[in-house]
Structure 1
Amino acid sequence: MTNSTRAGKRERLAGAAVRVLHEQGVEKTTLADIARAADVPVGNVYYYFKTKDQLIEAAIEAHGRHLETMIDTLERLPTPPERLKALLHGWIEERDLTAQFGCPTGTLASELDKRDDGLDRAIAKVMGGLLGWIESQFRAMGRDDARELAVALMAAYQGVALLTNTFRDPGLMAMEGRRLERWIDSLA
């Protein structure tokens, strides 16, 4: 097996872990579920990941890579308000998935918080990266209260993600997204 084949299977397993953990939750998900979703024989999973926690760590790393890619894409936009509104649009585009399963990162963070293995700190670091980026956008807009505004934006998203999931109503995400766009415009 070549290194690229190994890396491909490992990444497939990590990607499947992100998806299955989001859909089923940490406690209900088994290594066999993830192997099935990745189309990898369950026995091969142990070659890449010895424990479920290692696979969860790989899923957290995949969340981090996704965030980095998303930020790189958003950084190509010319102004901080445009970048923040594009972030909102990305969240809104995922409203049907959010209605069904909740925010992928937020629900994982909530589940991992109930465990005593340190994985909660790893997902907090990923979420902290997004919070820091949002803060930098508000700071680039000349806002002295950039940290507070970043927390408010992230809290509004996490709150509406919870409500969207609780009520299975994607329209809530769209409605709050429009309000947050107007809010961002009012701050520029």
Structure 2
Amino acid sequence: MNKNYSVLELIVCILSLIVLICGFLAPNTNTTSTIVGILIFILLIIFHVYTPKIAGLSADNPKVKTMRRMNVLSMVLVAICFGIMNWSSELPFVKDNQSFMEFTIIIAVIIGIGNVAPKFPFNRYMGLRLPWTIRDEKTWKIAHHILGYLTFPIVIIILIGGLLVDTEEFAKWGIIAWVAIPSLYSCYYYYMRISGKK
């Protein structure tokens, strides 16, 4: 394996591990949130710079441009989310409408990811990374196309349910369904494929 690529994988792995440890084990303070936000931002910058290498494509490939656009969107959303978390108590409008703003961000994330998911090139860093999707390109494509097809039905269900019943519950179960359906179907597809039935 290319030495630079090994170093890149090691850096990404270490930063991701620190983010997980801070997120789940460290005390929930503004300092912890700031550290997590900065580390996520660094990871996104690494992905942005090394997108062609991650995707195994040339820098001018349309799929690389799609991944980079998604990365920029992720950076903006991370900045907004951590801004709301850290300064909501100091901004009256944000404090009074925090639930609505969180709901809006969730919808924006689902639409943004779902819209570009079918265009994601086969890679190990961005997208629906599961043991079976990163092993087989056809399984990867199936999973991401289903993710894309489900986006607007899921968004409509979340919007209707959130407005009429419970915003938090519908958002939570909507996201779970949105990720679980393509994950489970692609697992079934991969099993059938390696069994020689596809």
TM-score calculated relative to the size of structure 2:
0.30
With normalisation by structure 1, the TM-score equals 0.31
Greater relative CO (CA pairs within 8 A, separation 6+): 1
